Amino acid sequence: MSLPPLVEPAADLSIDEVRRYSRHLIIPDVGMDGQKRLKNAKVLAVGAGGLGSPVLMYLAAAGVGTLGIVEFDTVDESNLQRQIIHGQSDIGRSKAQSARDSIKEINPLIDVRLHETRLDNENVMEIFSQYDLIVDGTDNFATRYLVNDACVLLGKPYVWGSIYRFDGQVSVFWNEHGPNYRDLYPVPPPPGMVPSCAEGGVLGVLCATVGAIQATEAVKLITGIGDTLLGRLMVYDALEMTFRTIKVRKDPEGEPITELIDYDNFCGVVSVEAQEAAAGSTITVDELKDMMDSGKEFDLIDVREPNEYEIVSIPGARLIPKDEILSGRALSELPNDKPIVLHCKTGVRSAEVLAAIKAAGFKDAVHVQGGVTSWATRIDKALPTY
């Protein structure tokens, strides 16, 4: 859909800016007017990870005058396979600060504003109100719905992207002119149905393709050129090297968005059944280590996927993937004569499995809070994290 320019042009460009952006200026559709609009634009990237990296780098190179970054995490070695705005020397640093330094190296003319906080109901409206356009690169449903609802309430457009393994999706949402995210996904999937990139993996270069499309859509919105992805969902399959678009329409029966809600509860970050099962049946990695050291007999079961197990595992654990247990196929492999201790990467999947096996009659079972991640950071610091 073709839309009018999002921002007014800046008063002028300096001689340095004319030299820097000369390849834009000779494009008739961009020209001096479009470049001045880019200079005057304020764009917020939610996340400086796999998608935020190419988005921020290309928008900085394009001359977007003000770039905001919402990011509370630090750089981990496992990020470097896809989060190209960070480098080896940034491990352990604030992602927001690392991203700012990379942006300044690309284009020192950009004003970079950091919001080193977790986006939530208390701060989202104040942060978003400072920007013309939001680019969403988050990887969890609770934050996606929060971003959407805040943009609807503030009348802001935003560019959304999603990645998983070899697949990517991109769209533009702007409730005043077309659909919003809830028109595409009215309700979130059940907890555990869609694994995160940390659980399922992602091809690193996929982030470059999807992030570049997001940056392209941002430039088009700011300058008012071309047809945006508003009302369309672009689906990219890296293995087949195919792009296809799907029409997205406003839901005439959709509930109006009038306020922010409890997004963790709405998305069921952990299902009610898992919460109930985990209550009183959760142990820490320190307690697990004590059980091992005392010689207590129990069956330690890793419910992650085989490729995760190959990367790192807790000593003595045997692998039975979550889906094998939830489907009932592996219930016969569980012992009836000794306690069962379940774990995954962080504790979400193991809590879901715990609920399932308790419902199947295995009462003497617990799961490990924090899973392999906590074990690697607290007990066996020689083990890698991923």
Name 90's Cβ contacts closer than 8 Å, sequence gap at least 6: 75, 98
Note whether 120 and 247 are within 8 A (CB). Answer: no
DSSP single-letter state for residue 333:
G
Q: What is the torsional sign of CA 244, 247, 248, 251?
A: negative
CA atoms within 13 A on the CB side of 249: 3
Three-state DSSP at 251 gives coil
Note whether 134 and 46 are within 8 A (CB). Answer: yes
DSSP single-letter state for residue 94:
B
Distance between CA atoms of residues 252 and 247, nearest Å: 15
Ramachandran sector of residue 47 (left: φ over 0; alpha: ψ -120 to 50; beta: rest): left
Using CA atoms, how far residue 237 sits from 36, 167, 219, 240, 243, in Å, is 35, 5, 24, 6, 7
DSSP single-letter state for residue 174:
-
Note whether 45 and 70 are within 8 A (CB). Answer: yes
Residue 199, number of CB atoms within 10 A of its CB: 19
Residues that are catalytic? 197, 344
Residue type, 232: R
- Specify the pairing of strand 133-136 against strand 111-115: unpaired
